[in-house]
Chains A and B, each alone.
Chain A
Amino acid sequence: MTTQTKDEAIKTDTLLEVKNLKMHFPVTAGIVFQREVASIKAVDDISFDVLRGETFGLVGESGCGKTTTGRCILQLNTPTAGSIKFEGNELTEFTGSEMRSMRKEMQVIFQDPYSSLNPRMTTGGIVGEPLVVHGLVDGKNEYRDRVEELLTNVGLNPYMAERYPHEFSGGQRQRIGVARALSVNPKFIVCDEPVSALDVSIQAQLINLLEELQQKLQLTYLFIAHDLSVVRHISNRVAVMYLGHIVEIADRDEIYANPIHPYTRALLSAVPIPDPVIDAQRERVLLAGDVPSPLNPPSGCVFRTRCPKPTDECRDGHSTMGLIEKSPGHWVDQCCVNCG
């Protein structure tokens, strides 16, 4: 299937709807009587939709809240405020047991293949456990057949079911993580930096695998990553996060061709290109300084401390953040449309 048909194949119905999601982690002081002295605004009022069958890329630097967003969607963190609707169901109102059965629909692939697999379980046990938990198989034979099928699907040999995680390389372990996520036939998978711990030659193998599986099983991905070239390859739409806020959302081709937000432009220009001639000709937007602490984010526009060319209003911290639609489907933070 070509790219064009993949894009066309995405239906317009929304699978996941995130609205005004906030996740504030309390910072406490005191030993016996813990009182809240501050809060870390890991995710601060973000909204986006994920359409059925698409890959939605979420990019940003460490500490921008992209992983927290993924965890909130899966209800691994209970959000402070906001709504998360999956196929029309409000997940934040679900009870524990309702959520447990919902987990058949939504799964996760973690970043670190070394710490996300139980070292004392065999590969078969790891991949098969969700089948048992959710009662998806009858009897030993069906269980074994399903585990074999899952391992084959991700490019591992069925005989490897007897082996333990330490016997595998990083890339193979990540394949086990994929097989585990697929075991319950989910509709939606949160891929939390699935390739960033892998070597470049192995990264490409895994990305190809994820794309093949998506087509075969009609999966929807939320692809969290910091590598913009990988996100461009795999995503249909991309959202850029900075310090708990989404600062720009657009279709893949649009955001890479016409980035509007100065942060997106800086991120894109920082991606190295493996060709010294082309790389030397590129214009570089180097951002000064570091990401501010989410404990004490700047007032107004959170990006203003690093903005190369802020407006006067923005510099004083009086602007309010919020996405506006610049062109169909291309949303940018209203403050930064005018600066940079």
Chain B
Amino acid sequence: MATLLEVKDLRTYFYTYEGVVKAVDGISYEVEEGETLAIVGESGCGKSVGALSLMRLIPDPPGKIIDGEILFDGEDVLKVDLDDMREIRGGKMSMVFQEPMTSLNPVLTVERQLSETLQLHKEMSRSEAAKEAVNLLERVGIPDPESRVKQYPHQFSGGMRQRVMIAMALSCNPRLIIADEPTTALDVTIQAQILELMKSLTTEFGVALIIITHNLGVVARYADRVNIMYGGKIIERGTAQEIYADPKHPYTRGLLKSVPRLDLPRTDKLDPIEGQPPDLVDPPAGCVFRERCPDPTEECKQGSIEMKLIEVSPGHWVDQCCVNCG
């Protein structure tokens, strides 16, 4: 498969009164055509900022992409001018946000919101776009699309709104969809519905999908590959099978161990990762994880190890510092 997206050494910093927040600090990864990549990490680890950077949606000021390359379809997204960027956003690359309540416009009908992108990117007439909007709603499994399309977002439930968002993201036949915590605001039964829908639609249309989530469990079934982020850096990446079956980084192992599992016998005590995520204004020197590492090496404790991914088995990359500890 060909590489669709290649991110090289991306750095996005925020300049605040407290200091420079290194929200994304040198991440590199690829997305193949049609594959599903999961980016997993806790709040504040830079996963959303990393995704917004791909679309160049970082508010500037205070944010700034200070370094790196984002090669999408062979073209560096960071170098195109703003008009061309508009073509890419919603056209070749689209996004599904976390909060379906706040990301739809409450005063426009669903039809208007769906046809807007179609008229803009596909140059459809208003009536063509309206017809296509009904098609799209049907495709994402909304019953009675002809009458639903005339309704406003508040008349839809949370799960339905997320379906509308997915319809919108799919509308212009994108090559890549970025879903930022698409199911976090939804109930478990609805969450399962939405993920099944996203997976089947992306497979059907051969669209690559980046799912951002804080819950490793949610994506186990759907992801082809997984990137684990911590403190603005990718600390482990590999195929889903390897990450879940043979996690190398102590943080990945900690994440997997700290959730109680329904398929295993109940244990008396959970195994949390002690401590708090690092403050990104003043991250620890050396390995960002060392303050929470259960068993750091002497060298690591002193903060003298530089962070860098090394390949431990084909396609499975782990931070070089933590390969030896924990």
Identify the A interface with B (CB < 8 A). Answer: 2-3, 61-62, 169-172, 199-205, 207-208, 211, 226-230, 232-233, 252-253, 256, 266-280, 282, 284, 286-287, 290-291
Contact = CB atoms under 8 A, between A and B. Distances in A.
A228 B159 CA distance: 20
Nearest to A230: B260
Contact of A203 (B159, B217, B256, B258): B258
Contacts of B192: 269-270, 272, 284, 286
17 contacts: A172-B276, A200-B214, A200-B255, A200-B258, A201-B258, A202-B276, A233-B266, A233-B267, A252-B266, A266-B189, A272-B220, A273-B261, A273-B262, A274-B217, A274-B220, A276-B220, A276-B223
A280 B271 CA distance: 25
Nearest to B274: A205
B268 interface: yes
B255 A201 contact: yes
Given A267-B189, A273-B263, A286 B196 contact: yes
Contact of A201 (B196, B241, B273): B273
Indicate the member of A2, A267, A272 with the most B CB atoms within 10 Å: A272
Given A274-B259, A275-B263, 14 more contacts: A61-B188, A61-B190, A169-B277, A170-B43, A199-B214, A201-B273, A202-B276, A204-B258, A229-B259, A268-B262, A272-B218, A274-B220, A279-B220, A286-B193
A69 B188 CA distance: 20
Given A169-B276, A228-B262, A256-B262, A3 B188 contact: no
A203 B254 CA distance: 12
Given A200-B42, A273-B217, A228 B256 contact: no
A290 B160 contact: yes
B272 interface: yes
B30 interface: no
Contact of B263 (A2, A62, A266, A278): A278
B304 interface: no
B191 interface: yes
A189 B256 CA distance: 29
A222 to B, nearest CB: 19
Nearest to A172: B276
B240 interface: yes
Contact of B188 (A2, A208, A271): A271
A253 B262 CA distance: 11
A322 to B, nearest CB: 24
B215 interface: yes
A290 B272 contact: no
Nearest to B292: A201
Contacts of A271: 188, 217, 262
B2 interface: no
Contact of A204 (B244, B272, B276): B272
A171 B259 CA distance: 16
B187 interface: yes
Interface string B190-224: 11110010000000000000000011111111010
Top 7 nearest A-B pairs (CB, nearest first) are A204-B272, A272-B217, A61-B187, A204-B258, A204-B270, A233-B260, A201-B273
Contact of A280 (B218, B221, B269): B221
A62 B192 CA distance: 15
Contact of A267 (B188, B240, B254): B188
